[in-house]
Amino acid sequence: MTALKHKQPDGSMTAQSPLDRMATMLGAEMTATNALILDRMQSHIPLVSQLAAYLIAAGGKRIRPLLTLAACNACDPSANARGLAAAVEFIHTATLLHDDVVDESAQRRGQASANIIFGNKASVLVGDFLFARAFELMVESNDIRILDILARASRVISEGEVLQMSLTGNIDITLDQYAAIIEAKTAALFAAACHAGALAAKADDATAEGWRLYGHHLGMAFQIVDDLIDYAPDGIAMGKDAGDDFREGKMTLPVILALQKADDTQRTFWARTMQRHDQTPADLITAREIIASHGTIAQGRATAQNHIEAARAAIAALPVTPTAKVLDELLDFVVARDH
């Protein structure tokens, strides 16, 4: 797991982010989940295992399976959500594989993406394999309600990806349409990950709904911050190529907010670079400057902060267990992160 530095409100760095602490607290469960992920990524077809091993080596934060384990642990420390956590990670990984094919990405998690190394064909098919494996793992949970939640989330993700594709380069996109995209492509799985974890611990409906809402708002904030980072001046952008969204013509929050304040020259710039997709490398610098000039990043972080407050409110009435406490601290971390 990649260690993320944690910037405190005063700008200092702590050794361990809430994500790291959560991984430490749930160490045994996370180790078992990682072993399960490794085991179920195997296939008697060598190319499947090779591509899967490549993805595993690339790491990633495993934030979604951690959320499943943590929500489960917050409700009942003796319950087991390992299989569901692995399933959630598989759904996410399958989505990433297909995304990289669709976006023609060259990098993922700081290394060449699987479609570059193994080709688009293998990426599409191994994505299908991982998606099916996720369902096999979910079936083992033997809980129809959880299966329903995760099947639905998988469908919503694909709808979100199609909606995002449909609106690529469309400079008339509304904030509501943007919210619908990120709710579907990101928040739905965060919500389902937490919901499934709570249900695996046999939480009552109100508690499970609290964790579902927590996951939803955390996911919204997470994606908003991701989208802001892509235009940050020093954007390391989570191991993706910084500026990917711009180059792909994805209409994300900073661009939409900048468009709202754009003068004619700027609107012409966005129409050329995003809508007609006529870009030079220098245009990314201009895009960042326009976005910075409007205070768009701060405005975007405020939107993310609203979701953080809603996530906090969703679990405010639930028992304050040690895991619940770290999940609460995770909220501030997600908005504060800059890479």
Angle between helices 63-75 and 322-336 (to 10 degrees): 150
Q: Which one-letter DSSP state was computed for residue 301?
A: H
Question: Least distance in Å: CB of 247 to a second copy?
Answer: 16
Spatial contact of 41 and 56, defined as CB atoms under 8 Å apart: yes
Rounded CA separation 191/198 (Å): 11
Separation CA 204–CA 63 (nearest Å): 24
Nearest CA to 252 out of 293, 276, 224 is that of: 224
Q: Which is nearer to a second copy, 159 or 241 (CB)?
A: 159
Which CB sits closer to a second copy, 133 or 307? 133
Neighbours of 117 (CB within 10 A): 13
Collapsed DSSP state (helix, strand, coil) of residue 321:
coil
Among residues 58, 61, 93, 87, which one has the least CA distance to residue 72?
87
State in angstroms the smallest separation of the CB of 49 from a second copy: 10
Q: Residue 15 CB, nearest distance to a second copy (Å)?
A: 39
Q: By C-beta, is 151 or 271 nearer to a second copy?
A: 151
Q: Give the C-alpha separation, 248 to 287, whole Å.
A: 13
Say which DSSP state 236 is in.
-
Residues that bind a second copy (CB under 8 A): 43-48, 94-95, 98, 101-102, 120-122, 124-129, 131-133, 135-136, 138-139, 142, 144, 147-148, 151-152, 154-155, 157-159, 161-163, 165-166
Q: Give min distance, CB of 161 to a second copy, in A.
A: 5
Distance from C-alpha of 208 to C-alpha of 225, rounded to nearest angstrom: 26
Query: Measured from the CB of residue 82, what is the shortest distance to a second copy in angstroms?
Result: 18
Nearer to a second copy, 103 or 227 (CB): 103
Shortest distance, position 210 Cβ to a second copy, whole Å: 24
4 vs 151 by CB, closer to a second copy: 151
Report helix, strand or coil for 13: strand
